[in-house]
Structure formats: C-alpha cells, structure tokens
Chains A and B, each alone.
Chain A
C-alpha cells in the first residue's frame, strides 16, 4: 500500500535507491512451469533465467506456445511455478502482488462494461481505498495522458479497440506501480494504430520511468520499444537469446526507417528462425 501510494517523485527516489544497490526489479532463476493435464504434461517454461533492472523496457518475443505469457503470469503471481526461484521487487511474487507492486495490461482491454471510461480507470483506486478526490484527480490525469480526456463519460462499447486498450493502460498506471506487465496489449490492433500506440507507450515509459515487461509477437514492435529483447522458443518454452537494443532516444518514425532498426529486426528474426 505504501508503495502504491507514493507519489511520482517518491517513486523515483525509491527507484534511484534500488538502482544504487543494483537490486533488480525481477530476478528469474532456473524457473520451470509444467502444466499437468489428464495423463499429459506440457512443459510451458524450462530453466528460465532472466534479470530485469529498474527502468528497463524488456520485451518477451517468440511464437505461440513459447511460454512468454506463462512467464509474465508467473511474475504476476496469477499462476505459481513448478520449481525455481522468482523475485519481484525484492519480494516473492505473492508478496509483490499483495503489495500491488505491478500493473498488468491484458491482451484484451478487460474493461467493465457497466463502468464509464473514468470509472474504469478509477476501479483499482477504489479497491485500494484511495480518497475520492485522489481517485478523480489521478484518473483524469491519466486519461489526459492517453488522450482520452473527452471520452471519460462514455461506456467502453462506445470506444474503438485502440481507445479501449489505452483506457486499460491508463487503468494499469492509475495506482502508479513501479512495474508494468503487458501481455500483447496491441495484438488485436491494426498495424497503423499499433504504431501510434507504440509511440505513445514509449513516451509514457520515458515520462514515468517505469520498468516494463512487454510480451509481443511483433518483431518491429519489440525492437522499437525495448531496451532488451528476450527471444523465446517453444516446446519446451525457454529463453533462446537476449538481444540488447541500443537505438538512441527519442525513437520515432525515422527510427523505424533507419538501418540500425532494420539490422536489429533482422537479428531478432534470425534468432527466432535459428531455433528451427
């Protein structure tokens, strides 16, 4: 609760503090996840090792079934690992979840249709017992940030898919968690909307200095957004390679058309293809 209620500058203070002792936000060591069905066992994640530092934007990329969503859900404590060690913000995943250490953005917007856009953004704040004025103030600020201030009275079905996903991002940021877990948030959007959303997300990341773990199956999206790309392969799901992205900031349309961008996408594509 204390973590959640820290304001912007306090969060940054905390972040610098964690950076100074170089405590990673996420530490994954020899993590295994096996789904047991009736007489079958599916190894969704095998011996995963990953460290995410504060302020990083890490993308998990790979084909379907490579365990990237499983890894994200393990971090979020929505499922529990079969074996291995997992640390989130210096705590066990469960403690981190109960301390509301992260915001989660699902593949679908998961908006409550009986709530207006504003009320949807205020939902986590209601649950976390923020004061009424604080709720309004924060929700309004975040809707402003995602450019939906004029739509706050609308119901979700009145919004386009891209707008709905923006509401969902604003909601994940509402209680100001240090870590943002995003599971293919733009997967269902068309290419043009997706690029716009990518630009916005990058801006938000740079403004808020959040740590982001981002699941995608779009190479261009991963390269454009990330500071590091984790390439995963399926059956069994495991981490194949980690590619650092050293494209300079600010990244924009020109970045997408640059040679470095092209080389990095090629590198990721080859890494993905290398698994065959």
Chain B
C-alpha cells in the first residue's frame, strides 16, 4: 500500500510528461505543416479543360458537367459560329446542330471481366480531351492518390475519397488484400517504394495505356465508344479593362511552367515560345538577336515596354540601357503569363475587338497537397518529429510484430542482443576498473602516472573512436558481425572510468581508526585489503557501477550503429531514422531508456544481495 502511494507522484509526473507530448507535438509539427502548405510544388495541380458534352442525344440543349463563368462552345478546334445562350453548365442553341459528336473506336471487353475494356491500341493516358461514352452518356475519368507517399513499409493510407477500387501501379488490388474504413485503407502488403497508388473516384480509369485497356467501375449496359471529337464547353478569357493586350483566366494561381497550356484567338493557337537571345548578356551589350520578329520582351520576368525600354528592328532588339550581366533576357512570341497568381496574360498582338480568346486547357494549383488547412496538413505530415503520444502507443504493437522472432531484427531479439552487449561491456569495464583501482591504491606512483591518461581517455569522443577500434579489431578477424567482443570493448571503454574513480574513492574511504584497529591486530596488508578496504569500497563500487552500466549501454548502442549485422537496438534506431519512421524511433528510444533503467535496477538488486548492510 505504501509502495503504491510512493508510485503515485512518479506516475503523475509520467502522466504530465505524456500530456506535454501533445502541445510539444503541435509546437514542433505545425511549422512543418505550415511550410508544407505554402510549398506550391506540393500543391495539387488541376487541369482546367474544355468540358465534353455529357449527353450527346440532345442536339439543342447541351449539358456539360461543369460550366465556365464565361464559356465558349468549340468543335473541331474553333469556336462555334452558332448563336446560343449559356446558363452555367447548360447551353441552349437557337437551332439544333447537325452533329455534336464524331465517333472513334468502340471498346471491347477483355476476357470474362465485366470491368476491363480495351481500345485495341495504345492511348495517351494523360489525354485531357478523351471522351468515353456509354451509349449517349459521358463517362467521367477520375482517380486520386493517397495523402501519404508509399515508402515500401507503410501499409495504412488515407485517400480523399471514401470509396472506390484501388490501383497500385495500374494493377487492380483485390478487395480481400486490403481493409478499408472509409477514407482509410490498410493494405495486407505494403505497396512498393515510390509506387503509383490511387483510388478510382470516377466512372473509369485507364489501366494500361500501352494496350489501351480501361477499368470501368460499373459494368456498362450499352456500347462503349470513344469520341474522336465532340462539342465542348471551353473557357473564354476576359479582357482586363483598359488594356487591349491583357486578358484574364477564369482561375487564379495558374501554373506558370505549363508546357501544355493551350490558348487560342478564334481558331489560331497562341504559343509562348520562350526565346533566348543569340548573344551573351554581359552587362555591356544592348543589342540582341532573337529567332522571331515579334513577341513580348522580358528581362528577369519583367515586361519591357517597346519604344521606351527598347526598339525593334526585325529580329534585332536594341535596349536603351544594357541589361545587367547574366540577366534573363527572353522573348515570348505570342503571349506571356505576366501574373500567374492573378491568372493574367499579356498578348503580343491585341486581338480584334470581336475575336474570342479562349483556352482548351491550362493547369492551376488547386489545393495544398497536404490538405485544406494547417491542422489537416499537420495530420498528413509524412513524418512528425514529435508524434502525439498515442500515435507512438498505437504504432507499438505493429512495431513489435514487424519482424517474427526468427528474424534477428525482431525487437525482443534486438533488446536481448543489446542487453548482452551491455552486460559484456559492463563486465569487462567493471573488471578493468576494479583492477586499475586496486593497482592505484596499492601503488601510488602508478596512479600518478596513469590517472591523467584515464581521464584523457574519456575526452575522446566515443563516436570517433568506434570506427578505429572496429578497424583494429577487424584486422584480427574480430568483427561486430560475428562477436560480442567489439561491443564489449567499446562499452567497456567508457564504462570503466566511473568504476575506477568510484572504487579508488571507496578503497580510500576507510577511516584511519579502522586501519589503526587492524594494526593493533598485527594484520597483514592482504588481510587489511580483504577485510576492510574491499568491503568499505563495495557501496562506492556499486554506485559507480550504476553510472558504468548507463555508459556501457551508450557504448553498446553506438557500437551497434556502426555495424551492418542488423542486430541490436542501436542498429534498429539508425535503421528507423534512415527510413524516417519517427514513431518507431521514439519507441526504440523508450525501449532503450527502459533497458537503461532496468539494468540500473539490476545493479541495485545485486547491491542489495551482495551488500545488505547498506541502510536504505
């Protein structure tokens, strides 16, 4: 009962530590989440494309999946001449069209599966203009990757959509090979490192582009056909008031390095030919030759005004002030995306007042890749430097079960291996420590000669010494792969020091009267050592041994990090750090700490047995 009462404050402190883990996890994790959220490279990219007709049966009232603020109907690469009114995703034509679709290949089923169909030839998996119809109805392609990257070990993934079949590298994963709880999916086998994991969210997905095979989620009741061309609703760019050159996309945060962006004025495609000058920008030259005779000239992405900053003479551009050395001087032939964030473009030639400026395809940044807000990004962090305590607890069981007992990486075996190494190190270090201490007490000159070196030995960083020691021992055929000896020597190297110091102090701790008493018995030196000095040194010895055992553990762990024999906690820690399993590193940290506490307790127990006279 009283023991229980003693444990209460200790457990309370443990509880406080665990609770402190939560704010600490947020303090360390939220800045990382914020950084992830700001990183445009990690944002989801969305391709805004002209929408194919959703239902090809009606040729007067055209319905699309989604409308554009200002849409324009296009067919065969140019805006439709017909008159129509648009209401969101629905367009009403004044007179019905003769054709709204030009049919391409018909898809045929593959094998007995009701889900897999093939075009019979290779298709472009990324083709945004592909339109597949079941009968007259448009099928939507869609798949989305999980929030986490496959690292070869992770089995649990979170998807944005709560259902749908799952593909890994275009192979369909059988339903019994994973468990799913809404958006969370746990695989029986971890998907390979860097594999393409996705969940089909639309009506179909391209399985294998090289043979044109498709996976259709719902077995179709009618013929499946590819459209070679179909009426589409495309986005029309709006003029920015006051500047005939300047137009605006319907979406902001336009991806500026988009090589597949397609812009048209009526049926004329525009290109952003990013031309370099023929000459080097050396800081003195004013005149540069470009391949084309027209375009928007920029220096370091800043648009230059013709007539003010430069004059043009055919393909020769003459600057008023020479561009500074190594400045990026470019000519953009048809248009230039001046402000990607606002989505504004500058056209080299102002279009006619009745011309339609439209786009069939461009890419924008959609959402931060990690999630819609900082907390979602925090939860989606691939690695938390300080995980929530219950995450550590939750990964404990899978961690322990990760390797079977037959595998030397099994955590129980690793712990035992490290324990053995530590005990060997402690035994060796303790023995060396005791012998040195006795020698020092018996021969003072020896102490004077050696003690400075003993102290100096501890100033050598163990981490620097380990490779050298391993090299030396390796020359004698003693390797950490085959023998505990290197571990023992390395651990002993740091464990012997407290033992020497403590035992010397203990052997000298005998009070002068005790020695006088032995003198009155005419006791021999040996008797004095055995009967007085040794027993007097025992408590000191054990106290120093407790320091020594902690040092031996450090030595053993450090030695194990240098080995590649896959054994011991030290190896496991390095391995988990390298593969970035932070929660597992924390578990190993806790196991190492518990091992240290356990070993100190073991020494304490030994002390109680061997030196029971100590009052506690």
- Quick one: given A114-B613, A127-B527, A127-B531, are A98 and B520 in contact (CB under 8 Å)? no
Q: Which residues of B488-542 are within 8 A (CB) of A?
A: 511, 513-514, 516-523, 527, 531-532, 535-536, 538
Complexed CA–CA distance, A98 and B518 (Å): 11
What's the A-B contact tally at a CB cutoff of 8 Å?
53
Cβ A76 vs Cβ B523 within 8 A: no
Measured CB to CB, the closest approach of chain A to B218, in angstroms, equals: 86
Question: Interface stretch among A104-112, A136-144, A243-251?
Answer: A104-112
**One of A97, A114, A126 near B520 (C-beta < 8 A):** A97
Complexed CA–CA distance, A114 and B527 (Å): 16
Q: Which residues of A contact B522 (CB under 8 A)?
A: 97-100
- Any A CB within 8 A of the CB of B611: yes
Closest Cβ neighbor of A97 among chain B residues: B522
Complexed CA–CA distance, A110 and B536 (Å): 13
**One of A98, A100, A110 near B514 (C-beta < 8 A):** A110
Q: Which residues of A229-257 are within 8 A (CB) of B?
A: none
Q: Which residues of B contact A98 (CB under 8 A)?
A: 522
Cβ A113 vs Cβ B613 within 8 A: yes
Measured CB to CB, the closest approach of chain A to B52, in angstroms, equals: 94
Which of A77, A97, A113, A115 has most chain B Cβ within 10 Å? A113
- Any B CB within 8 A of the CB of A102: yes
Proximity bits, A41-55, B CB within 8 Å = 1, else 0: 000000000000000
**One of B521, B611, B613 near A127 (C-beta < 8 A):** B521
- Any A CB within 8 A of the CB of B444: no
Cβ B615 vs Cβ A157 within 8 A: yes
Which of B516, B517, B520, B527 has most chain A Cβ within 10 Å? B520
Closest Cβ neighbor of B514 among chain A residues: A110
- Any B CB within 8 A of the CB of A128: yes
Proximity bits, B231-264, A CB within 8 Å = 1, else 0: 0000000000000000000000000000000000
Cβ A112 vs Cβ B532 within 8 A: yes
Measured CB to CB, the closest approach of chain A to B539, in angstroms, equals: 9
Cβ A112 vs Cβ B535 within 8 A: yes
- Any B CB within 8 A of the CB of A261: no
Q: Which residues of B contact A106 (CB under 8 A)?
A: 513, 516-517
Q: Which residues of A contact B514 (CB under 8 A)?
A: 110, 112
- Quick one: given A112-B532, A127-B527, A155-B613, are A97 and B517 in contact (CB under 8 Å)? no
Cβ A126 vs Cβ B531 within 8 A: yes
Cβ B535 vs Cβ A110 within 8 A: no
Q: Which residues of B92-139 are within 8 A (CB) of A?
A: none
Cβ B520 vs Cβ A128 within 8 A: no
Q: Which residues of A48-76 are within 8 A (CB) of B?
A: 76
Cβ A114 vs Cβ B611 within 8 A: yes
- Any B CB within 8 A of the CB of A185: no
Closest Cβ neighbor of A1 among chain B residues: B522
- SS of A interface (majority): loop
Complexed CA–CA distance, A168 and B513 (Å): 13
Q: Which residues of B401-452 are within 8 A (CB) of A?
A: none
- Any B CB within 8 A of the CB of A103: yes
Q: Which residues of A contact B516 (CB under 8 A)?
A: 78, 104, 106, 110
Complexed CA–CA distance, A106 and B511 (Å): 13
Complexed CA–CA distance, A76 and B522 (Å): 11
Q: Which residues of B contact A162 (CB under 8 A)?
A: none
Which of A103, A104, A127, A128 has most chain B Cβ within 10 Å? A127
Measured CB to CB, the closest approach of chain A to B444, in angstroms, equals: 21
**One of B521, B527, B531, B613 near A100 (C-beta < 8 A):** B521
Q: Which residues of B570-616 are within 8 A (CB) of A?
A: 611, 613, 615
**One of B511, B513, B521 near A128 (C-beta < 8 A):** B521
- Quick one: given A112-B514, A157-B615, are A103 and B523 in contact (CB under 8 Å)? no
Closest Cβ neighbor of A79 among chain B residues: B516
- Quick one: given A126-B531, A157-B615, are A110 and B523 in contact (CB under 8 Å)? no
**One of B511, B519, B611 near A97 (C-beta < 8 A):** B519
Number of B residues whose C-beta is below 8 Å from A?
A: 20
**One of B513, B531, B613, B615 near A110 (C-beta < 8 A):** B513
Complexed CA–CA distance, A79 and B563 (Å): 61
Measured CB to CB, the closest approach of chain B to A248, in angstroms, equals: 34
- Any B CB within 8 A of the CB of A123: yes
Measured CB to CB, the closest approach of chain B to A86, in angstroms, equals: 16
Complexed CA–CA distance, A77 and B613 (Å): 32
Q: Which residues of A contact B511 (CB under 8 A)?
A: 110
Which of B513, B518, B527 has most chain A Cβ within 10 Å? B513
Complexed CA–CA distance, A99 and B615 (Å): 37
Q: Which residues of B contact A100 (CB under 8 A)?
A: 521-522
Measured CB to CB, the closest approach of chain B to A255, in angstroms, equals: 32
Closest Cβ neighbor of A109 among chain B residues: B513
Cβ A104 vs Cβ B520 within 8 A: yes
Q: Which residues of A contact B536 (CB under 8 A)?
A: 112, 114
Measured CB to CB, the closest approach of chain B to A156, in angstroms, equals: 8
Complexed CA–CA distance, A112 and B536 (Å): 8
Closest Cβ neighbor of B611 among chain A residues: A114
Q: Which residues of A contact B611 (CB under 8 A)?
A: 114
Closest Cβ neighbor of A98 among chain B residues: B522
- Any B CB within 8 A of the CB of A187: no
Closest Cβ neighbor of A157 among chain B residues: B615
Cβ A127 vs Cβ B523 within 8 A: yes
Q: Which residues of B524-570 are within 8 A (CB) of A?
A: 527, 531-532, 535-536, 538
Complexed CA–CA distance, A113 and B520 (Å): 19
Complexed CA–CA distance, A123 and B538 (Å): 18
Cβ B517 vs Cβ A104 within 8 A: yes
Q: Which residues of A contact B519 (CB under 8 A)?
A: 77-78, 97
Closest Cβ neighbor of A104 among chain B residues: B520
Q: Which residues of B contact A113 (CB under 8 A)?
A: 613
Q: Which residues of A contact B613 (CB under 8 A)?
A: 113-115, 155, 157
- Quick one: given A123-B531, A127-B527, A157-B615, are A103 and B513 in contact (CB under 8 Å)? no
Q: List 27 A-B contacts (CB under 8 A).
A: A77-B519, A78-B516, A97-B519, A97-B522, A98-B522, A99-B522, A104-B517, A106-B513, A106-B517, A110-B511, A110-B513, A110-B514, A110-B516, A112-B514, A112-B535, A112-B536, A113-B613, A114-B538, A115-B535, A115-B613, A123-B521, A126-B531, A127-B521, A127-B523, A127-B531, A155-B613, A155-B615
What are the nearest 5 A-B pairs in CB distance? Answer: A114-B535, A104-B520, A114-B613, A98-B522, A110-B513
Which residues of chain B have a CB within 8 Å of any CB of chain A? 511, 513-514, 516-523, 527, 531-532, 535-536, 538, 611, 613, 615
| Given A104-B520, A114-B611, A157-B613; 17 other pairs, CB 8 A cutoff | A77-B519, A78-B520, A97-B522, A99-B522, A102-B520, A103-B520, A104-B517, A106-B513, A110-B511, A110-B514, A112-B532, A112-B535, A113-B613, A114-B535, A114-B538, A126-B531, A155-B615
